Amino acid sequence: MDKGNVWKFGDDIDTDAIIPGRYLTINDPKELAKHVFEGVRPEFARDVAKGDIIVVGKNFGCGSSREHAPLALKGAGIYCVIAKSFARIFFRNAINIGLPVLECEEADSISEGDALKIDFKKGIIENETKREKYQVASMPEFIMGIIGSDGLIKYTKALIKTQKRG
């Protein structure tokens, strides 16, 4: 179980809003994090704390396939993104770089500043502020494995060490 405080955003947040195109030559997550949500919420990069959680509406991360978007969130210390739905490529990219993402139909019940506790194995989000619980689909073990290994490259690397390829 881990917990964090909520930053709330709306629907259809695109990858340009998460990290504008002019920063795509940067690859270091910490550097990217200085510009995350720059155009839409300038105070975010300054005030975000390690372990915070982003809660959004539908179609989060739509637009380009840039992996810089989840990297910037991870660099900012974001611990998990909870959305009603994600754009497909963002969803994959987030998991591949080791950023947990959860789909939750009840995301609207969560408010800015709420304190959440998340049990990934059981698929339970506990809203300590509102004293509510939301059930989400639990993450399969291998997805948790990818996230736990800090992303697909390291996960695959470890996998190859333990298994014969082919």
Partner 1 sequence: MSGQTISEKIFSRAANKVIHAGEFAFASVDCAMANDITAPLAVQGFNEILAGQKEKKVWDPKKVVIVFDHQAPADSLNAANIHIMLRKFAKEQNIINYDVCEGICHQIMVEKGHVKPGELIVGADSHTCTYGALGAFATGIGSTDMASVLATGRLWFKAPQSIRFEISGRLPDRVCAKDVILHIIGDVGADGASYQACEYAGPTVKDMDISERMTLCNMAIEMGAKAGIVEPDKKTETYLKERISGFNFGPFRSDGDANYIQRREYDVSELEPQVACPHNVDNVKSVSKVEGTKIDQIFIGSCTNGRVDDLKVVADILEGNKIAEGVRVIIILASKDEYMKALKAGFIETFIGAGAAVGAPCCGPCMGGSFGLLGDGEVGLATSNRNFKGRQGSTKAFVYLCSPATAAASALRGKITDPRTI
Q: Report the interface residues with partner 1, using CB under 8 A.
A: 59, 62, 65, 67, 85, 87-89, 92-93, 95-97, 137, 140, 142-143, 146, 151-153, 156-157, 159-160, 165-166
d(CA 1, CA 156): 26
Residue whose CB is less far from partner 1, 44 or 120: 120
* Least spacing, CB of residue 131 vs partner 1, in Å: 29
d(CA 114, CA 101): 18
Residue whose CB is less far from partner 1, 4 or 61: 61
Closest CA to 4 of 51, 48, 47: 51
- Diameter of the chain by CA atoms? 50
* Least spacing, CB of residue 85 vs partner 1, in Å: 7
Contact residues for 29 (Cβ-Cβ < 8 A; gap 6+):
71, 72, 74, 75
Residue whose CB is less far from partner 1, 59 or 127: 59
Residue whose CB is less far from partner 1, 40 or 89: 89
* Least spacing, CB of residue 3 vs partner 1, in Å: 25
How many CA within 13 A on the CB side of residue 150?
Answer: 5
* Least spacing, CB of residue 96 vs partner 1, in Å: 4
